[in-house]
Amino acid sequence: MPHRVIISVCLLLALMACGLGGCASSPARYRPPWTGNPIADGLHAVTNAPAKDRVLWQMITAKSALFQKKYDLAKNLLDDALLSIENRYGKDKEARKSRKLFQDESDKFFLGEPYERVMAYYYRGILYWMEGQPDNARACFRSAQLQDSDSENNDYRNDYVLMDYLDGLASLKLRASADSNYMRATNVARIAIPPPYQPADNVLVFADYGKGPTKYASGAYGEQLRFKEGRSSALEIKITSGNALLHLGPYDDLSFQANTRGGRVMDHVLANQAVFKSTTDAAGDVALMSGMVLAHGRNTQEVGLGLVAAGLVSKMFSAAATPDADTRDWDNLPQYLTFGTLSLPPGNHVMTLEYLDDSGSVIPSLTRTENIQVNPAPKDTVLYFSDTKD
């Protein structure tokens, strides 16, 4: 009889533990139906994915739209995403809930890590410049740099070379001074120092290449957010148009930027949750083991049963705690960002892009030709190239 009672209590609590544990786990991450068209899939996701993931899909789809030269679509998506990013101040019920013990971090609205927010502003800045609004482009580059201002280590704050460099070039185009911008850009340069400004150049070439960083969860319970380095087979881009030649090397590396952000407040929250999960799990094990032993004794049966129950409750709480780091990421970002300028007469031109590997050899599969139209003065012609197709 006592054995049957023990078994029924254990069964009951174990099932409750399973139930609680099951409810604590988040629903599977939304995946759009894959049609092979990244824009169609992305737009489907923007509409149908959970609201908390909307900004993520807007960012991913905007990048695809940029690659396909659907600039109006990219503009609309980025504007909407940036509105969410800019208005993130104040109380946020979902964000507050995501810090709770039994809630996933990924339950909060996705606004991206700083390097992702930087890229949203950066791309919007390019689009503003394309529209002939260098001052709004400059505003975006400034906001982009600002997103990188809360790195744990001072050395890595506001250290995007291109954001300062482009801020300065836009200022020069608007007949303002750019000395301090150029100085800051060269001071933070780690890969290459950008050339002095050529404000008379009328063709601005923005390019990015390689596969950017990806997020993964590390630690015993996946509570640590980590970034896997991106990769790029190309190290340099050679651009020719008639007699004009432009060599573009990387100025900013997104993997470096992702990895130098340092600790987040959320890391401490998740670390505490991991400690809770591990402690309650261990305590549950001890209580269960001891309880089972004691429950067999005629005089200690009640104490044993109590311990078994306490152990199961402890295991239940352990199972329900979700310290998993949020690994949703903008997965079509590039590894390297680069920029250069050319002077070309107004009219139609053919431009050839060759991507060179680290030995300086052309990677034939990436070579391509673009037909461009250079605007008459004073409007600059802004070009954007990427080797990321998805």
| Residue 5 binds to another protein (criterion: CB under 8 A) | yes
Size of the site for another protein (CB under 8 A): 50
| Residue 180 binds to another protein (criterion: CB under 8 A) | no
Least separation, in Å, of the C-beta of 279 and another protein? 23
| Residue 187 binds to another protein (criterion: CB under 8 A) | no
Least separation, in Å, of the C-beta of 9 and another protein? 8
Least separation, in Å, of the C-beta of 50 and another protein? 8
Q: Which long-range contacts (CB under 8 A, 24 or more apart) does 71-79 make?
A: 71/127, 71/130, 73/39, 74/123, 74/127, 75/124, 75/127, 77/46, 78/120, 78/123, 78/124, 78/127, 79/124
Q: CB–CB of 104/26 below 8 Å?
A: yes
| Residue 11 binds to another protein (criterion: CB under 8 A) | yes
CA torsion angle for 173, 68, 364, 208 (degrees, to 10)?
Answer: 40
Least separation, in Å, of the C-beta of 16 and another protein? 5
Determine the 3-state secondary structure of 385 from DSSP: strand
Q: CB–CB of 314/355 below 8 Å?
A: no
Least separation, in Å, of the C-beta of 142 and another protein? 4
Contacts to another protein from residues 303-332, by CB under 8 A: none
| Residue 95 binds to another protein (criterion: CB under 8 A) | yes
| Residue 47 binds to another protein (criterion: CB under 8 A) | no
Alpha-carbon span 376 to 371, nearest angstrom: 16
| Residue 179 binds to another protein (criterion: CB under 8 A) | no
Least separation, in Å, of the C-beta of 165 and another protein? 16
| Residue 19 binds to another protein (criterion: CB under 8 A) | yes
Alpha-carbon span 236 to 338, nearest angstrom: 9
Least separation, in Å, of the C-beta of 239 and another protein? 28
User: Which two three-digit tokens encode residue 352?
Assistant: 């050839």
| Residue 184 binds to another protein (criterion: CB under 8 A) | no
Stretch binding another protein (CB under 8 A), from 1-9, 66-74, 242-250, 382-390: 1-9
Least separation, in Å, of the C-beta of 147 and another protein? 9
Stretch binding another protein (CB under 8 A), from 41-49, 139-147, 276-284, 304-312: 139-147
Task: Please give the helix or strand (H or E) that residue 354 lies within, else none.
Answer: strand 347-356
DSSP state of 211: B
Stretch binding another protein (CB under 8 A), from 134-142, 191-199, 280-288, 327-335: 134-142
Stretch binding another protein (CB under 8 A), from 142-150, 226-234, 245-253, 380-388: 142-150
| Residue 217 binds to another protein (criterion: CB under 8 A) | no
Alpha-carbon span 37 to 160, nearest angstrom: 32
Least separation, in Å, of the C-beta of 23 and another protein? 4
DSSP state of 366: G
Rank residues 154 and 365 by Cβ distance to another protein and give the closer one. Answer: 154
Among 67, 122, 123, 128, binds another protein (CB under 8 A): 128
Beta bridge partners of 216: 226
Contacts of 370 (CB under 8 A, 6+ apart): 350, 351, 352, 353, 383, 385
Among 133, 214, 224, 259, binds another protein (CB under 8 A): 133
* Polymer length in residues for the chain: 390
Contacts to another protein from residues 228-287, by CB under 8 A: 264-266, 269
What are residue 381's phi and psi, to 5 degrees? Answer: -100, 120
Rank residues 163 and 342 by Cβ distance to another protein and give the closer one. Answer: 163
Contacts of 239 (CB under 8 A, 6+ apart): 205, 245, 246, 247, 248, 340, 342, 351, 352, 353, 354
Sort residue 227 into left (φ over 0), alpha (ψ -120 to 50) or beta.
beta
Per CB under 8 A, residues contacting another protein are 1, 4-5, 8-9, 11-12, 15-16, 19-20, 22-23, 27, 50-51, 86-92, 95-96, 98-99, 105, 107-108, 111, 124, 128, 133, 135-136, 138-140, 142-143, 146, 149-150, 174, 176, 264-266, 269
